[in-house]
Amino acid sequence: MELTAQQLRGFNGSDAGKPIYVAIKGRIFDVSAARNFYGPGGDYCMFAGKDASRALAKMSKKEEDICSSLDGLSENELGVLLDWEKKFEAKYAVVGRVV
């Protein structure tokens, strides 16, 4: 499945009938199994329906960091992102790509 960033926003947990998706480096993960974390009111709900690459790399929940841009990230931050990516791969199915 391929989704635009705008289409991805529709999978943010606000519609209980739809899965919840989070993208990392353009790959979309179905995080519906962790609805308590990524759904409305969850600790990581700000990532739902978005590419959270930069925010995960920076360990940030700031709105301005929740994007796909990796520009200017340090080697350490890129390593942190890789660790997050591996965790997501181990826990959640990849269901598509952001185009």
Query: How high is the pLDDT of residue 15?
Result: 94
What's the burial of 90, exposed, middle or buried (CB within 10 Å: 0-12/13-18/19+)?
exposed
Q: What is the CATH number of the domain that holds 84?
A: 3.10.120.10
Mean pLDDT of the chain: 97
Largest CA distance in the chain: 39
What is the total count of domains within the chain? 1
Q: What is the pLDDT of residues 28-48, one digit of tens each?
A: 999 999 999 999 999 999 999
Q: Confirm whether pTM is higher than 0.85.
A: yes
- Nearest to 69, CA basis, from 85, 45, 52, 82: 52
Name all contacts of 64-68 with Cβ < 8 Å and 24+ positions apart: 68/5, 68/23, 68/25, 68/26, 68/98
Q: Where residue 53 falls among pLDDT bands split at 50, 70, 90?
A: very high
Boundaries of domain holding 69? 2-98
Q: Which two tokens stand for residue 96?
A: 């598509």
